[in-house]
Structure 1
Amino acid sequence: MRLFSRLMFVVLLSGCAVGNQYDYRSSSISLPLKATRNAGLILSVQDFRPYVQNGSKPANFVGLQRGGFGNPFTVTTSSGKPLAEDMAIAIARALSEVGYRVQTVPGTLPLQDLSAKAQGSAASRIVLLNVNEWKSDIFMSITVHCALVLKILNPAGAELAESSMKFEEEIGGAQMGGSKNSSVVSREFAKRIGYLFNKEEIRAALSL
């Protein structure tokens, strides 16, 4: 009976591991900011994850969900769009909620192009998030791998402030069901973005 229960658990885990998709667009990000006027921002989220850059994983890859024997299954965004695009939507919404006028620039653009867009739209700042790593790996627990760099630039492209974080951390136990794991991981993303913006230099550079 014990062997049968263990086998059924393995089968259940395997079934829950296939075809998972996580929703990052709906992440509820609380930012420690308040725009005093309707300041314009250019927002660019750029995906530099090495396995996306070399084409071994698609841009909508967000991590792994492992089956009962630890075998990995790919997890993608629920939108089907690139992870960087979904992150940008969530961050842009959070910035808008605290009073900024946000223009999101998709894709990976060189700094001179971002600067040209900022000057052309009379934006006061460029908000640049480089995603060097972000993925979850879920088996019996949820582990997040993260390497993010947030930069605030003036319209000419000069850097005013930088905030970064890099970690590999277990954030909790795995849940039965992709939607529950999606909620846990998207909340973790929202929390970490809030930490990046909470650095004193970042807040000062965005005090507009």
Structure 2
Amino acid sequence: MEQQMTRKNWSAWCLGLVAITTAMLLTGCIGTYPQSLAMVKPEITGDLSGPLRVEVIDNRPYVQSGDKTSQFLGTRHRAMIWGIPENIINASAKPVAQELGDIVASSLRQRGAVLCPSESADMKCKAAKLVKLTLHDWRFSWSRNSELMVDAELAVSDDANTILAKTRVTTRAPLQRPDVQKDFQTQLERLLNQPEIRSALQ
């Protein structure tokens, strides 16, 4: 009788495990893991002046499709749960586009630029240049083969919507650490410090 009960318990445990595993596979992940961007502080060379506006567009296909949330930063795989990925999300709970917009604005402000809100009646903001960052890909994967995947475009336009300068960086590179803040900072610096962008920001 005891052996029969043990077999029943074992069968029930196996069925439960199969059900849980199936649910995990169907949802694609089994939870979330926060990643801070608080230390992403790109350094811009030279001094700036004049009013600027910052806009970030999240055009990442996995966000646009609804497969991932606007806070999505990547995935990590844990061997203890058969490599099923966890979503990595922005720890502040802000959308990634909003967070990066705040980061870029802060860096521009530190170099002397006057930052204007999107809608402003202030006369000094009427001639503000627009610094527009478009995210086509912005994520990382932390696993046995960790990667940083970035495809982003930065454009500067004047108050007549004429594009003064545009640049794009595309990166798919191995990662050496799970905290990717420095890696993301480097990509923003590559965009902001392009000579044509620097000239347009003056």
* TM above 0.5: yes
Larger CA Rg, structure 1 vs 2: 2
Structure 1 gaps of 5+ residues are: 1-16, 106-113, 175-180
Count, aligned residues: 171
- Give the TM-score taking structure 1 as reference length: 0.75
In the TM superposition, residue 119 of structure 1 has moved relative to its aligned partner by 8.1
Q: 1: CA distance between counterparts of 2:162 and 2:139?
A: 30
Sequence identity percentage: 22
For the residue of structure 2 that corresponds to 1:144, the secondary structure is: strand
Could you tell me whether the CA contact under 8 Å between 1:129 and 1:151 is conserved in 2? yes
Q: Which runs of 4+ in 1 moved over 2 A?
A: 116-124
For the residue of structure 2 that corresponds to 1:20, the secondary structure is: strand
- Give the TM-score taking structure 2 as reference length: 0.77
In the TM superposition, residue 32 of structure 1 has moved relative to its aligned partner by 1.6
1:31-110 pair list within 5 angstroms: 31-35=44-48, 37=49, 39-68=50-79, 69-105=82-118
Q: CA RMSD in A?
A: 2.2
Letter in 1 for 2:76: Q
Cα 1:143/1:117, change in 2 over 3 Å: farther
Match of 2:181 in 1: 186
Report which structure shows greater RCO (CA 8 Å, sep ≥6): 1
1:131 pairs with one of 132, 135, 153: 135
Deviations 1:101-150 (A, max 9, x none): 11354xxxxxxxx8x98988324310000001000100134311110000
Cα 1:79/1:119, change in 2 over 3 Å: same
For the residue of structure 1 that corresponds to 2:146, the secondary structure is: strand
1:126-205 pair list within 5 angstroms: 126-172=130-176, 174=177, 181-182=178-179, 185-205=180-200
For the residue of structure 1 that corresponds to 2:115, the secondary structure is: strand
Could you tell me whether the CA contact under 8 Å between 1:130 and 1:149 is conserved in 2? yes
Letter in 1 for 2:196: E
Structure 2 gaps of 5+ residues are: 1-29
